[in-house]
Chain A
């Protein structure tokens, strides 16, 4: 049973560019959350998708957007990249709508470097 997968593993972009990161959830999971982990910090919640809609959002600007597809996979898009967007982007999936107490399972992450 494949776990959460993310692509690409590494990415280098320049300021002002746009980037798309992809995530496939663990089999049987219907809820996908995205996190940004800056170097030496804990993950910060960006947003969560369920039933193809953004259900909850953290304190991130509108430059960060996402999408969930009918097969539950998800994309994270970041426009107008800033140097400060350099981080490890983690995707996590959970079952049953990600209700209270449901564990989130994390992928290996995409490391984004903005030059």
Chain B
């Protein structure tokens, strides 16, 4: 079935470090791919998305490229800030309207 496998955390980085959070997926068709972020005590916020192969989603300095050949959608940011500390979820959406989420990766950025 459809599923998402996400890099396990927690991840701790110093401010201005480079961030990569790995995400791979299994899907029977051609899903749309998303990254959501959850700040402490809050719901999920859309960070970025890509709807077809080779698309790059970007927002707030974060980027992810939809790689069909490696079934991946890794999240990257060149220079993290303390305010980026949160839990990040990779998700896929098939035409059946059901989101499949990864287990989340907790990121802590220290000054």
Contacts and interface: CB of A to CB of B under 8 A. Distances in A.
B25 interface: no
Contacts of A55: 97
A70 interface: no
Contact of B93 (A35, A43, A101, A107): A101
A31 B97 contact: yes
A103 interface: yes
Contact of B32 (A42, A90, A100, A107): A100
B97 A56 contact: yes
Nearest to A6: B43
Contacts of B93: 100-102, 104
A41 B104 contact: yes
A43 B89 CA distance: 9
A107 B44 CA distance: 7
* Main DSSP-derived SS at the B contact region: strand
A99 interface: yes
B36 A48 contact: no
Interface residues of B, number: 26
A107 B99 CA distance: 15
B43 A103 contact: no
A58 B98 contact: yes
A68 interface: no
B101 A99 contact: no
Interface string A97-111: 011111111111100
A106 B32 CA distance: 17
Contact of B101 (A4, A43, A100, A107): A43
A88 B6 CA distance: 20
Interface in A72-115: 90, 92, 94, 98-109
9 contacts: A41-B103, A42-B4, A42-B91, A43-B89, A45-B100, A90-B44, A92-B44, A94-B97, A103-B34
